[in-house]
Structures are given as structure tokens and as C-alpha cells.
């Protein structure tokens, strides 16, 4: 029982960062991010095509929900780990800037947690087990 609760808490904590970030990219009216246009502009300023924003939002929102609910969580964790590593190196790889280095290290740590979900899967408190979708 204790392992199930800890597994659920870990998945919720990992999933929330993506769910909230994805929603924040949709519109700044949510108070959770900069909104679509500002995020797209930032991406383009960093050399990333703005057309990738919609797939990014879908990955963050759906991947975050999949982790939280435990539905196809291994695949969601793998996709989010790859995305988080890529985003870290694209947007935060400035080792001369302590703030950016800190963001890069956070991305690395989040990716590590996601890789653990990928390797170990989810425990019993997951809708994926209930509906045979894990």
C-alpha cells in the first residue's frame, strides 16, 4: 500500500510540471505561463521553429495526464524524458550563466525521474491497470 501511494505521488509530481507548463503555453490568461504567442516567439528566438509549439503543448498536456493517471505511463515517461533532455540542451545550455545551468540540471533530474518510471512502470494506483492500459 505504501509503495502504491509513493508511486502515485511521484507520478503526480512529475506529471504536474508538464500539465501546468502545457496549459501555460496555451494562454497567459490561465496565469500559468506566457501564452501561445510569447512562447512561440521565444522558441523562434532560440532557433526552434514556432510550428513545433502545438506538438509541444500536446506532448506536455497529454503526457502529463498519462503520467498522473498511470495510462501508458511508460511511453509517456520515455517521450517526456527525451523532450525534457532536448529542451534542456536547446534552451538552458549556458554553463556561464548560473540560472540557466540550474534549469539545465533540473531538466536532467526530471529526465532521471521519468526514466525510472519508464524502467519500473506504475504500481496499483493507476487507471492503466484498471482498464488494461498501462
Is the CB of residue 58 less than 8 Å from the CB of residue 65?
no
Other beta carbons less than 10 A from residue 32's beta carbon: 16
How confident is the model over 39-52, as pLDDT tens digits? 999 999 999 999 99
Flag whether pLDDT at 71 surpasses 80: yes
- Which range marks the domain in which residue 27 is found? 2-130
Is the CB of residue 69 less than 8 Å from the CB of residue 105?
no
* 3 state SS of 97: coil
- Rounded to an integer, the average pLDDT of 47-76 is 97
How confident is the model over 27-41, as pLDDT tens digits? 866 666 788 999 999
Burial of residue 31 (CB within 10 Å: 0-12, 13-18, 19+) is exposed
pTM over 0.75: yes
pLDDT of 112? 98
In the chain, the number of structural domains is: 1
Degrees, nearest 5: CA angle 105-116-2: 115
Amino acid at each position: 500500500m505504501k509503495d502504491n501511494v509513493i508511486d502515485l505521488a511521484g507520478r503526480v509530481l512529475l506529471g504536474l510540471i508538464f500539465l501546468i507548463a502545457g496549459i501555460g503555453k496555451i494562454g497567459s490568461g490561465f496565469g500559468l505561463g506566457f501564452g501561445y504567442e510569447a512562447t512561440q516567439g521565444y522558441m523562434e528566438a532560440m532557433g526552434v521553429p514556432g510550428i513545433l509549439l502545438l506538438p509541444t503543448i500536446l506532448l506536455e498536456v497529454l503526457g502529463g495526464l498519462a503520467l498522473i493517471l498511470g495510462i501508458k505511463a511508460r511511453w509517456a515517461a520515455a517521450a517526456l524524458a527525451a523532450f525534457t533532455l532536448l529542451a534542456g540542451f536547446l534552451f538552458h545550455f549556458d554553463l556561464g550563466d548560473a540560472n540557466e545551468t540550474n534549469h539545465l540540471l533540473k531538466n536532467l533530474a526530471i529526465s532521471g525521474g521519468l526514466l525510472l518510471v519508464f524502467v519500473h512502470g506504475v504500481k496499483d494506483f493507476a487507471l492503466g491497470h484498471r482498464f488494461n492500459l498501462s
